[in-house]
């Protein structure tokens, strides 16, 4: 079986570590670090919390719209 990406979310860091260890013991896995983008949503993490932004998606949509207008 092939799984492209898994996003693990929990308040308890110990539980996340335990799950990641379990997955590494049973499957070939690689840790790509903290989540940066998910479905064109930018994810920024800090001590204060998590910020999600669809700025890139909105700019891409505006660019597509402008391209279509220019083709008219």
pLDDT of residue 2: 65
Average pLDDT over residues 29-53: 84
pTM greater than the 0.85 cutoff: no
String of DSSP letters for 7-63 = ----S-HHHHHHHHHHHHHHS------S--EETTEEEEEETTEEEEE-HHHHHHHHH
Q: Are 7 and 38 in contact (CB under 8 A)?
A: yes
Chain mean pLDDT for the chain: 84
Least confident of 12-16, 36-40, 66-70: 36-40
Domain ranges of the chain: 13-71
Average pLDDT over residues 45-67: 87
1 pLDDT more than 70: no
42 pLDDT more than 80: yes
């Amino acid at each position: 079986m092939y799984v492209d990406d898994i996003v693990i979310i929990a308040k308890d860091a110990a539980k996340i570590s335990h799950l990641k260890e379990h997955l590494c013991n049973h499957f070939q896995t690689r840790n790509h670090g903290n989540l940066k983008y998910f479905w064109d949503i930018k994810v920024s993490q800090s001590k204060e919390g998590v910020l999600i932004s669809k700025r890139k998606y909105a700019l891409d949509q505006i660019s597509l719209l402008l391209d279509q207008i220019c083709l008219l």
